[in-house]
Amino acid sequence: MSAYNFAFLDEQTKRMIRRALLKAVAIPGHQVPFGSREMPLSYGWGTGGVQVTASVIGPDDVFKVIDQGADDTTNAVSIRQFFERTTGVRTTTRTDAATLIQTRHRIPETPLREGQILVLQVPIPEPLRWLEPREIETRKMHALEEYGVMHVRLYEDITRHGHVETAYDYPVLVNGRYLMRPSPIPKFDNPKLDRNPALLLFGAGREKRIYAVPPYTPVRSLDFEDHPFTVERWDRTCALCGAADAFMDEIVVDDKGGRMFVCSDTDHCERRRGR
Amino acid sequence: MAADVPLLRARDVSKLYGARVGCRDVGLDLWPGEVLGIVGESGSGKTTLLGCLSGRLVPTSGSVEFMLRDGTVVDVLQLSEPALRKLARTDWGVVHQNPRDGLRAGVTAGANVGERLMALGARHYGRIRAEALDWLDRVEIDRGRIDDWPETFSSGMQQRLQIARTLVTRPRLVFMDEPTGGLDVSVQARLLDLVRGLTADLGLSAIIVTHDLAVTRLLAHRLLVMRGGEVVESGLTDQVLDDPQHPYTQLLVSSVLQP
Amino acid sequence: MTEPALVVEGLHKTFTLHTQGGIQLPVLRGVDLTVHPGECVALMDPSGSGKSTLLRAIYANYRPQCGRIVVAHDGGRMDMAGAGPRELLAVRRRTIGYVSQFLRVIPRVPTLDVVIEPLRAFGMPREAALERGRALLERLRIPERLWSLSPVTFSGGEQQRVNLARGFIADFPILLLDEPSASLDSAGRAIVVELIRDARKRGAAIVGAFHDREVREAVATRAVTLHGEEAA
Q: Is residue B65 part of a domain?
A: yes
pLDDT score at C229: 52
Share in percent of chain B as helix, strand, coil (round to 5): 40, 25, 35
Identify the helix (H) or strand (E) that includes residue B21.
strand B20-30
- Judge whether B220 and B208 are in contact, CB under 8 Å: yes
| Chain A contacts in chain B segment 134-163 (CB below 8 A) | 147
Write the CATH number for B44. Answer: 3.40.50.300
Is residue B22 located within the same domain as residue B87? yes
Mean pLDDT of B3-21: 90
- Final residue of a domain: which of B169, B199, B214? B169
Contacts of C107 in chain B (CB under 8 A): 189, 193
Judging by beta carbons within 10 Å of its beta carbon (0-12, 13-18, 19+), is residue B193 exposed, middle or buried?
middle
Mutate to test the interface with C, among B239, B252, B256 (most CBs of C within 10 A): B239
Sorting pLDDT into bands at 50, 70 and 90, what band is A3? confident
Nearest CA in chain B to A160: B147
B82, B85, B126 member nearest A226 (Cβ): B126
pLDDT score at B258: 63
Sorting pLDDT into bands at 50, 70 and 90, what band is B118? very high
Q: Give the residue numbers spanning the domain of B213.
A: 2-91+171-254
Average pLDDT, chain A: 95
DSSP assignment string, chain C: -PPPSEEEEEEEEEEEEGGGTTEEEEEEEEEEEEE-TT-EEEE-PPTTSSHHHHHHHHTTSS--SEEEEEEEETTEEEEGGG--HHHHHHHHHHTEEEE-SS--PPTT--HHHHHHHHHHHTT--HHHHHHHHHHHHHHTT--GGGTTS-GGGS-HHHHHHHHHHHHHSS--SEEEEESTTTT--HHHHHHHHHHHHHHHHTT-EEEEE---HHHHHHH-SEEE-SSS-EE-
Compute CA distances A228 → A69, A196, A264, B124, C25, whole Å.
27, 21, 25, 10, 75
Q: By mean pLDDT, which of A203-212, B197-206, C18-27 is the weakest?
A: B197-206
Is residue B87 located within the same domain as residue B175? yes
DSSP at B105: T
Tens digits of residue pLDDT in C185-230: 999 999 999 999 999 999 999 999 998 889 999 999 999 998 875 4
Low-confidence ranges of chain C (pLDDT < 70): 1, 229-232
Evaluate if residue A169 carries a pLDDT over 60. Answer: yes
Is residue B64 located within the same domain as residue B111? no
How would you classify the pairing of strands B35-39 and B205-210? parallel
Is residue B87 located within the same domain as residue B180? yes
Q: Which of A111, A107, A122, A100 is nearest to A55 (CA)?
A: A100
A149, A224, A225 member nearest B115 (Cβ): A149
A interface residues, B as partner, C-beta within 8 Å: 131, 140, 143-144, 146-149, 151-152, 155-156, 158-160, 224-227
pLDDT score at C1: 58
CA distance A212 to A34: 13
Question: Are C108 and B193 an interchain contact pair (Cβ–Cβ within 8 Å)?
Answer: yes
Evaluate if residue A1 carries a pLDDT over 60. Answer: no
Find all residues with CB under 8 Å of B185, minimum gap 6, and list them: none
Is residue B78 located within the same domain as residue B182? yes
Tens digits of residue pLDDT in A58-115: 999 999 999 999 999 999 999 999 999 999 999 999 999 999 999 999 999 999 999 9
To the query of whether residue A241 is one of the catalytic residues in this protein, the response is: yes
C18, C56, C109 member nearest B250 (Cβ): C18
A260, β-bridge pairs: A251
CA distance C161 to C167: 10
Q: Is residue B99 part of a domain?
A: no
Question: Are C19 and B190 an interchain contact pair (Cβ–Cβ within 8 Å)?
Answer: no
Distance between alpha carbon B175 and the CA centroid of its chain, in Å?
A: 2
Distance between alpha carbon C79 and the CA centroid of its chain, in Å?
A: 18
pLDDT score at C49: 86
pLDDT score at C2: 80
Is residue B140 located within the same domain as residue B68? no
- Judge whether B228 and C46 are in contact, CB under 8 Å: no
Q: Is residue B163 part of a domain?
A: yes
Nearest CA in chain B to C117: B200
Q: By mean pLDDT, which of A223-227, A240-244, A271-275, B8-12 is the weakest?
A: A271-275
Q: Is residue B259 part of a domain?
A: no
Is residue B78 located within the same domain as residue B187? yes
CA distance A166 to B144: 25
Is residue B69 located within the same domain as residue B128? no
Find all residues with CB under 8 Å of A254, minimum gap 6, and list them: none
Q: Is residue B62 part of a domain?
A: yes
Mean pLDDT of A192-211: 98
Find all residues with CB under 8 Å of C198, minimum gap 6, and list them: none
DSSP at B27: E
pLDDT score at A185: 96
pLDDT score at B2: 46
Compute CA distances C231 → A76, A262, B164, C51, whole Å.
110, 109, 59, 16
Q: Is residue B55 part of a domain?
A: yes
Evaluate if residue B1 carries a pLDDT over 50. Answer: no
Is residue B26 located within the same domain as residue B63? yes
Average pLDDT, chain B: 91
**Beta strand extents in chain A (DSSP E only):** 32-33, 62-67, 90-91, 100-104, 117-121, 172-174, 178-180, 199-204, 209-213, 219-221, 248-252, 259-263
B64, β-bridge pairs: B10
Residue type, B244: P
Sorting pLDDT into bands at 50, 70 and 90, what band is B191? confident
Query: How many domains does chain B fold into?
Result: 2
Evaluate if residue B257 carries a pLDDT over 70. Answer: no
Is residue B140 located within the same domain as residue B216? no
- Final residue of a domain: which of B169, B200, B217? B169
Compute CA distances C120 → A78, A231, C94, C129, C172, whole Å.
78, 55, 11, 7, 13
Contacts of A220 in chain B (CB under 8 A): none
Mutate to test the interface with B, among C106, C119, C126 (most CBs of B within 10 A): C106
Quote the pTM value.
Answer: 0.86
- Final residue of a domain: which of B125, B151, B169? B169
Is residue B145 located within the same domain as residue B178? no
Q: Is residue B19 part of a domain?
A: yes
Is residue B176 located within the same domain as residue B201? yes
**Beta strand extents in B109-210 (DSSP E only):** 173-177, 205-210
Q: How far is A124 from chain B (nearest CA, A)?
A: 20
pLDDT score at C232: 40
Helix, strand, or coil (residue A108): coil
Compute CA distances C25 → B34, B137, C53, whole Å.
33, 51, 12
Residue type, A23: K
